[in-house]
Amino acid sequence: MRDETRLFDAGFTLVELILVLILAGILAAVAIPRFFDRNTFDTRAFGDEAQATVRYAQKVAIAQNRAVFVNFNGGRLALCFDAACTSPVISPGPRKAVTACSNNVTWMCEALPAAVVIAPANQHFYFNALGRPVDVDPASTFALLTITLTGGGATRTITIEPETGYVH
């Protein structure tokens, strides 16, 4: 003989199903718009790329025993061997051509995404042959530099230490 009550004990109650649907609706209303907001991802991606690029500038300066200029201006982050940016640093790998970088695919240059805002704007400094960050002017007063990238509700900061040039 079968136990008929056990057949009806398995499964979910109507209240449990409704609660699951309510929780799924809340998640859909909160999480999905953030997941599909490209500006958040652009901010994070550019922040990571900018941090790696500034670290690369310091490594090139030490390896080649010469100054490497870092320019955050004109909607781009560029590395050059001179302040006027007429002698660009060559990228270690292939890059996508972008207008902000004169469509030069060998240049270590990255365009700022449209929705990302950088503060303070127009940062110029260089790493000397010892890897120390220096102001562009001869009497350097380089202090701790924090560059903030914002966009899509996300914020990313890049900090350059004055004595060691450590980028984090």
Would you call 100 exposed, middle or buried from its count of C-beta atoms within 10 A (0-12, 13-18, 19+)?
middle
Instruction: Record the pTM.
Output: 0.76
What's residue 121's pLDDT?
82
Q: Is residue 104 part of a domain?
A: no
Residues of the domain holding 55: 38-76+112-160
What's residue 137's pLDDT?
66
- Retrieve residue 160's tokens: 């350059």
**If the chain, 168 residues long, is cut into consecutive pieces of 10 residues, what is the mean pLDDT of each piece?**
60 90 88 73 88 94 94 86 88 82 86 86 89 80 88 88 89
Would you call 6 exposed, middle or buried from its count of C-beta atoms within 10 A (0-12, 13-18, 19+)?
exposed
What's the structural domain count of the chain? 1
Q: Is 85 left (phi over 0), alpha (psi -120 to 50) or beta?
A: left
110 contacts: CB under 8 Å, gap ≥ 6: 46, 49, 50, 53, 76, 77, 78, 98, 101
The amino acid that residue 36 corresponds to is F
Q: Is residue 121 part of a domain?
A: yes
Q: Is residue 86 part of a domain?
A: no
What's residue 19's pLDDT?
94
For residue 18, count other CB atoms closer than 10 A to its CB.
11
Q: Is residue 101 part of a domain?
A: no
CA torsion through residues 158, 109, 123, 163, sign: positive
What's residue 67's pLDDT?
93
What's residue 69's pLDDT?
93
Q: Is residue 63 part of a domain?
A: yes
- Retrieve residue 22's tokens: 């309510």
The CA-to-CA distance between both ends of the chain, in Å, stands at 71
